[in-house]
């Protein structure tokens, strides 16, 4: 484990910096103001990483419940007095910046869930019920904004945490049956545009209407060919045929401008980052840090997989961004906090092993 300056795990931070450089390069080619904003959050994110990597998580885990309750209050505040944009109320203005609490709260809710599970030593229905009670308010409040993508992420990550904790698979089978029964009710609560996105994925037959976003994204990815069209020279992104070119579809923008080489570099960098997180997960002895590292891996992997799947047309568009790459200060800061906390837990676990050996 390579650590030197500030006791930083460079094996964890280095691939993140590469991803952010790819992000800033792509965003710079689109809009200078967006670049300045993202660069500002990048600097803030580095300091957040350093701060959270030094925290004592044997103490932090004791405050899981207060962290959870504060998170719920913040999500409620967003719904009441949040800023509306494109039909969604997900943002809160703070010091001139728009903050998306459903993103910022991810690492803190991960700490809360990991803390609760690590305090239990059984696989009882009571424990499962309490985890559902933990998830339900968060999922409903995020879904209400509406934010289907993050709602799905919260649900899937909680399921993965339960698997790591050791719950028998029969619980998940019963849960799947239960969700299948409730799916018609869930479908009714989806907004029209959310239903259309799913239907369009199943039948992309309207290139100028419902299928427009998905088709333009695939065109952008393919038109970059091997070396790309060059920064700022993409036709789909530059002429704004590609929607959300700097957020949901930044992979398509990057692929068009930097070509297959740029896209492969991004995927390889993500693979290295995920391998590093998985190695940290394998090296944890305590249930708290092991569960948290599993959640960290799940958060990064699911967003990476789903976003690129959306961009190349193999998954429906659900509004999930690409970690460290998509424009968005809240997401960038959240992911830096997540990996900073992971680095701190890994450092603490390594120190604990050294003490035991001595």
Question: Taking Cα atoms as reference points, which of 17, 63, 7 lies closest to residue 344?
Answer: 7
Q: Pick from 111, 105, 109, 110: which is nearest to 92 by CA?
A: 105
pLDDT above 80 (res 85): no
pLDDT at 322: 96
The per-residue pLDDT for 356 is: 44
What are the tens digits of pLDDT across the range 28-55?
Answer: 999 999 999 999 999 999 999 999 998 8
pLDDT at residue 86 in the model? 65
pLDDT of residue 358: 43
CA neighbor of 23 nearest in space, from 229, 307, 247, 191: 247
- C-alpha 73/C-alpha 66 separation (Å) is 11
Please confirm whether the linkage preceding 251 is cis (ω < 30° from 0): no
List the Cα angle 135/313/176 in 5-degree steps.
Answer: 30
Which among 135, 126, 132, 131 has a CA at the least distance from the CA of 116?
131
CB neighbours (10 Å) of residue 290?
Answer: 22
Helix (H, G, I), strand (E, B) or coil at 38: helix
Q: Which two tokens stand for residue 176?
A: 């799947």
For the chain, domain boundaries = 5-357
Q: CA 21 to CA 42: how far, in whole Å?
A: 10
Secondary structure class of 85 (helix, strand, coil):
strand
Strand partners, 89: 84
Half-sphere exposure of 253 (CA within 13 A, CB side): 30
Q: State the DSSP H helix or E strand holding residue 37, giving kind and residue range, or none if neither.
A: helix 32-53
pLDDT 10s digits, 215-248: 889 999 999 899 999 998 888 887 778 888 899 9
Contact yes or no for 235/253 (Cβ under 8 A): no
- Closest listed residue to residue 321, CA positions, set 334, 48, 198: 334
Mean pLDDT of 16-34: 96
The per-residue pLDDT for range 151-181, each reduced to its tens digit, is 989 999 998 898 888 888 777 777 777 777 7
- Residue 59, Ramachandran bin (φ over 0: left; ψ between -120 and 50: alpha; else beta): alpha
Tell me the residue length of the chain: 358
**pLDDT for residue 210:** 59
329-357 and 106-119 helices, crossing angle to 10°? 40
Residue partners of 33: CB distance under 8 A and separation at least 6: none
Question: pLDDT tens digits for 261-301?
Answer: 999 999 999 999 999 999 999 999 898 999 999 999 999 99
Mean pLDDT, range 253-259, rounded to an integer: 95
């Amino acid at each position: 484990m390579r650590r030197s300056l500030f006791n930083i795990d460079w094996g964890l931070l280095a691939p993140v910096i590469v991803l952010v450089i790819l992000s800033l390069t792509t965003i710079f080619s689109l809009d200078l103001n967006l670049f300045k904003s993202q660069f500002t959050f990048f600097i803030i994110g580095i300091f957040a990483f350093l701060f959270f990597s030094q925290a004592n998580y044997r103490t932090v885990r004791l405050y899981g419940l207060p962290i959870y309750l504060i998170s719920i209050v913040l999500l409620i505040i967003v719904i009441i007095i949040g800023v509306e944009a494109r039909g969604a109320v997900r943002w809160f203005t703070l010091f001139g910046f728009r903050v998306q609490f459903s993103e910022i709260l991810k690492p803190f809710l991960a700490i809360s869930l990991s803390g609760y599970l690590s305090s239990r030593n059984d696989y009882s229905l009571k424990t499962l019920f309490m985890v559902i009670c933990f998830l339900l308010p968060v999922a409903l409040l995020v879904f209400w904004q509406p934010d289907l993508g993050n709602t799905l992420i919260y649900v899937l990550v909680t399921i993965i945490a339960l698997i790591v904790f050791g719950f028998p698979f029969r619980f998940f089978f019963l849960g799947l049956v239960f969700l299948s029964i409730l799916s018609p009710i869930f479908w009714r609560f989806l907004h029209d545009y959310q239903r259309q996105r799913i239907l369009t994925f199943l039948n992309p037959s309207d290139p100028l209407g419902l299928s427009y976003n998905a088709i333009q994204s695939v065109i952008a990815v393919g038109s970059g060919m091997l070396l790309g069209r060059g920064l700022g020279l993409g036709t789909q992104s530059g002429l704004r045929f590609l929607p959300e070119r700097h957020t949901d579809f930044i992979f398509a923008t990057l692929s068009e401008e930097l070509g297959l080489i740029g896209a492969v570099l991004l995927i390889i960098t993500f693979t290295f980052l995920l391998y590093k997180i998985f190695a940290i997960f394998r090296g944890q002895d305590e249930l708290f840090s092991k569960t948290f590292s599993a959640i960290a891996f799940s958060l990064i992997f699911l967003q990476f997989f789903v976003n690129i799947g959306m961009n190349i047309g193999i998954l429906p568009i659900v509004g999930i961004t690409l970690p460290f790459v998509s424009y968005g200060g809240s997401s960038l800061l959240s992911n830096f906090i997540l990996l900073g906390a992971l680095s701190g837990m890994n450092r603490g676990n390594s120190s604990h092993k050294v003490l035991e050996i001595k």
